[in-house]
Amino acid sequence: MEYEADLQRCLLRYIADLGPGKVLFIGDPNSPVLRALESKIEVVTVPYHEIPDPGNVEPFLALQREEIYPLGMRYKLVVVEYSESLDADKLLWTLYYTLAFRGRIIVIQGTGTSEFRGFLDRLVEDRYRIQENRGYCIVLVPTRERIAVATDDGENIPMKMLGRAAKYLIYEMKDDELELVEVRANPYKDTLQRRKTLDVYDVLRDCPVIISAFVGKRGTERLRLRNVKMFFRKGSISKALEEFMADHSTN
């Protein structure tokens, strides 16, 4: 009883400021953990056996009753009741699809101690850090934020649509400073297709902030529905990053 009461206190502390529909629970639909959550907030539930294969969002669509495009990265918290029957690769994909390195994860140990430890190690490897460790309940948060900047020459943001840029410079926020960590090619720079913004988004899905000169009206809305923050600038990348950091420090 003391374990359950302590677990509930831990969970309730992290959902206190969240709105309805912002919590995803992965685990047993009959779990007391889920009942504790549902007594306080509206929760979306994915049972163990419905965790999708990577790239397949159908289980989410059935549960959410909404189209695929507004779905990605909508959750602020994912609670996982870990079981040795879980497929770690599928679970990691689900977490990244619904969080995009921005939301908090709470992993509750069920069965399979060694698998549980290995799963946590993989999460920490993939840019999460442990915020709280109660043994049976581990709280993880993203270590840093990524920013993508559209460019052709590596120095300037071109006067063109996001999807027409030759490449993207990927920066990571570390202690309120930006560090260039990757130059990512755009495989769609010369293509024309419907909903091209979503193809480009797949290339940049780990970047919750995108800096570009232009994005079409529909593309902007599709990115907004995925909680991507657009920062519109053209010309010097260094100047754009300075302005972004100044804006970031005041928000």
The answer to pTM > 0.75 is no
| Same-domain pairing of 125 and 167 | no
Neighbouring CB atoms inside 10 A of 216's CB total: 13
Residues 96 and 206 in one domain: no
Query: What is the per-residue pLDDT across 189-202, written as a single tens digit (0 to 9) for each?
Result: 998 888 888 889 88
Structure confidence at residue 161 as a pLDDT band (50, 70, 90): very high
User: What is the model's pLDDT at position 150?
Assistant: 97
- CATH code assigned at 200: 3.30.420.130
Burial 54-78 (b: 16+ CB within 10 A, else e): eeeeebbeeeeeeeeeebbbbbbbb
pLDDT tens profile 124-160: 775 678 888 887 888 888 776 789 999 999 999 999 9
Q: Do both 63 and 132 map to the same domain?
A: yes
End-to-end alpha-carbon separation of the chain, Å?
42
Residues 126 and 15 in one domain: yes
User: Which range marks the domain in which residue 215 is found?
Assistant: 146-249
Q: How many structural domains does the chain have?
A: 2
Segment holding 53, helix H or strand E: none
